[in-house]
Amino acid sequence: MEKKNLELTKQLRHELHQHPELSNQETWTKQHLIDFLKANTRLEIVDKGLWFYAIYRAGKGKKTIAFRADFDAISMQETLDIPYASEFPGIAHKCGHDGHSSSLAGFALEIDQKGADKNIFFLFQHAEETGDGANQCVAFIKENNIGEIFAYHNSSGMPFKSVNVINGTSNCASIGMTIHMEGSPAHASQPELGANPAFAIAKVIDAIPMFSSLENNKGMVLCTVIQVDIGERAFGVSASKGDLLLTVRALYEVEMELLRKSLEELALAQAEKYGLKVSFAYHDVFPATKNHIESSDKIRLVCKAKGIQLVEMEEAFRASEDFGHYLKKTKGAICYIGNGEDYPPIHTLKYDFPDEIIETAVELFKGLAEL
């Protein structure tokens, strides 16, 4: 990577870090990235509202490939004493999406200056953290006849600057589930005159270990209790409303769906038993992210050719990644670039995206564009 481009990219990363924005609110971030590309490249820009993409056109009849980066931040306080610390209280780039989008912009600089033999689309995506982004952008694949798409995520606990890849599922599917139960209140001395959801919700919680056990599933299945909210702080009144918030997660989407249905069926049965109304709501829906072997192999080839350390991942990440939406529509793969084996984990107070891995990401993307 050209030194000037690397320095520009690092500066961009620091500017993004200072102005973090939550999912679906990234107006400054998106415009700043657009302004950067307009000031430093001749690429075509297509503004889609909450997100955008840039295009390098090699000509008709050339293959088309895409690279994606996310750019939203998370709700967390910035406590690090760094010159480019977040200026927005309670919001920070603690997942490294500022680094991902800066890397893609740096890659765009290199392609614009040096050219390529493919039509290359640089997709800058909002709202990865909530799962909204890729779901809103996925039509981009068909509209632009994208033949293959790649992305990377930074990851702590992996060798510094290493590229980590796996065939098949790289990230589990997950969904946030809210079970709402509603009965009728009664005096605490006469609970039998009302309908209290506490026992029905307790039965659902009690069944979770059985539903998610290894004996009953082919792959890893998790159901995490996020919150239990029943009744009010009034000791004279028997509870009449309750919410159970769960995150359902699985290696295989079909098993996640089976668990979701099992939880619904049990909740309906318990609601009937205790004379309650029940409803369900779903949030933060992520498909399984499943790499195509052909695309994963291209990552391996580039690493070998460029002397980048390659690590074969032994298992998928439990955490979800909305990149899976794209991989349902076209070939592609996501890989992980190591922050260092002892580097602070993402989504923690001590974490900050390491600028040193930007060049690794750009060189990897350049190699993929040349295959």
pLDDT tens digits, residue range 67-100? 999 999 999 999 999 999 999 999 999 999 999 9
Same structural domain for residues 271 and 331?
A: no
Same structural domain for residues 281 and 360?
A: no
What pLDDT, on a 0 to 100 scale, did the predictor assign at position 332? 98
Same structural domain for residues 37 and 138?
A: yes
What pLDDT, on a 0 to 100 scale, did the predictor assign at position 33? 98
Q: Which of 285, 318, 343 lies at the terminal end of a domain, its last residue?
A: 285
Secondary structure in 3-state letters for 71-124: CCCEECCCCCCCCCCCCCCCEECCCCHHHHHHHHHHHHHHHHHHCCCCEEEEEE
**Confidence grade of residue 2 (pLDDT, cut at 50, 70, 90):** very high
Mean pLDDT over all residues of the chain? 98
Q: What percent of the chain has pLDDT over 90?
A: 99
Which residues neighbour 241 within 8 Å (Cβ) at sequence distance 6 or greater?
180, 181, 182, 183, 197, 230, 231
**Confidence grade of residue 217 (pLDDT, cut at 50, 70, 90):** very high
pLDDT in tens, 41-72: 999 999 999 999 999 999 999 999 999 999 99
Q: With beta carbons less than 8 A apart as the criterion, state whether 26 and 72 touch.
A: yes
What pLDDT, on a 0 to 100 scale, did the predictor assign at position 49? 98
Q: How far apart, in whole angstroms, are the C-alpha atoms of residue 209 and residue 94?
A: 32
Same structural domain for residues 52 and 141?
A: yes
Q: With beta carbons less than 8 A apart as the criterion, state whether 60 and 53 touch.
A: no
pLDDT in tens, 328-352: 999 999 999 999 999 999 999 999 9
Q: Which of 224, 255, 285 lies at the terminal end of a domain, its last residue?
A: 285
CATH number at residue 9: 3.40.630.10
How many domains is the chain built from?
A: 2
Q: For the sheet with 310-312, list strands across it.
A: 44-47, 52-56, 119-125, 64-70, 148-156, 331-340, 163-165, 310-312
Same structural domain for residues 150 and 221?
A: no
**Confidence grade of residue 236 (pLDDT, cut at 50, 70, 90):** very high
**Confidence grade of residue 273 (pLDDT, cut at 50, 70, 90):** very high
Q: Which of 285, 312, 344 lies at the terminal end of a domain, its last residue?
A: 285
What pLDDT, on a 0 to 100 scale, did the predictor assign at position 313? 98
What pLDDT, on a 0 to 100 scale, did the predictor assign at position 4? 98
- Compute the average pLDDT of residues 252-263: 97
Q: Which element (helix H / strand E) includes 223?
A: strand 221-230
What pLDDT, on a 0 to 100 scale, did the predictor assign at position 249? 97
Domain that holds residue 126: 3-169+289-370
Same structural domain for residues 135 and 12?
A: yes
- Compute the average pLDDT of residues 306-310: 98
**Confidence grade of residue 279 (pLDDT, cut at 50, 70, 90):** very high
Same structural domain for residues 108 and 204?
A: no
Q: How far apart, in whole angstroms, are the C-alpha atoms of residue 186 and residue 237?
A: 6
Same structural domain for residues 189 and 216?
A: yes
What is the SS3 assignment for 26? coil
What angle is formed at CA 75 by the lines to CA 163 and CA 6, rounded to 5 degrees? 40
Same structural domain for residues 105 and 27?
A: yes
What is the separation, in whole angstroms, between the first and last Cα of the chain?
18
What are residue 340's DSSP bridge partners? 156, 158
Q: With beta carbons less than 8 A apart as the criterion, state whether 158 and 338 touch.
A: yes
Same structural domain for residues 39 and 152?
A: yes
What pLDDT, on a 0 to 100 scale, did the predictor assign at position 79? 97
Q: How far apart, in whole angstroms, are the C-alpha atoms of residue 170 and residue 321?
A: 9
Q: What is the largest CA-CA distance in the chain?
A: 79
Q: How far apart, in whole angstroms, are the C-alpha atoms of residue 192 and residue 205?
A: 23
pLDDT in tens, 94-124: 999 999 999 999 999 999 999 999 999 999 9
